[in-house]
Structure 1
Amino acid sequence: MKVNTTISDRVVLLRQPQQLIRINKMLHLLDCSRTTLYRWVKAGIFPQPIIRGGRTLGWPEQAYDDWLKEQQS
């Protein structure tokens, strides 16, 4: 069965913000300390976090997924 999407449906999908993985959840996912995570970011081993709304720091889910795939290859 073919699903038809209209232009307005696509625009809505594009406008949805990416979910951010906040630092505490990221530490749990990576099983590392805050210091280690920041060292990895500084060394370029792990993607830079983004700041949203002034004080909200996190990583887009896609950035984490891409990093995981890179580590597995």
Structure 2
Amino acid sequence: MVEEMDKGAIEPRRVTRLIRLPEVQHRVGLGRSTIYRWMSEGKFPKPVSLGGYSVAWPENEIDEWIRRRTR
């Protein structure tokens, strides 16, 4: 995660990467159909639209999901 200072900001702003499905699958060890089923059941973070049919997940949301699952 990268920190960036916003002029006039009190705290640094956190900038997160957007990661695509193959990287999400690799990180969480789940297949595509399981990820999409769990999203519909509210068990997995939903992606953000990049336009058209392209989507990606904020890296920090995936990292937090992994942290919660491994407690």
Scaled by the length of structure 1, the TM-score of the pair is 0.70
Specify the alignment match of 2:46 in structure 1: 48
Rg larger in 1 or in 2? 1
d(CA) in 1 for partners of 2:67, 2:22: 21
Give the aligned CA root-mean-square deviation in angstroms.
2.1
TM-superposed deviation, 1:31: 2.0
Unaligned runs of 5+ in 2: none
SS at match of 2:5: helix
- Greater per-residue helix proportion: 1
Unaligned runs of 5+ in 1: 1-8
Please give the residue correspondences for 1:1-73 in structure 2 after superposition, counting only pairs within 5 Å. Answer: 10-11=5-6, 14=13, 17-52=15-50, 54-55=51-52, 56-73=54-71
SS at match of 1:11: coil
Q: Taking CA–CA contacts closer than 8 Å with sequence separation of 6 or more, which of the two structures ends up with the larger relative contact order?
A: 1
Which contiguous aligned blocks of 4+ residues in structure 1 show a shift greater than 6 angstroms?
none
Scaled by the length of structure 2, the TM-score of the pair is 0.72
Q: Percent identity?
A: 30
Specify the alignment match of 1:6 in structure 2: none
- Greater per-residue strand proportion: 2
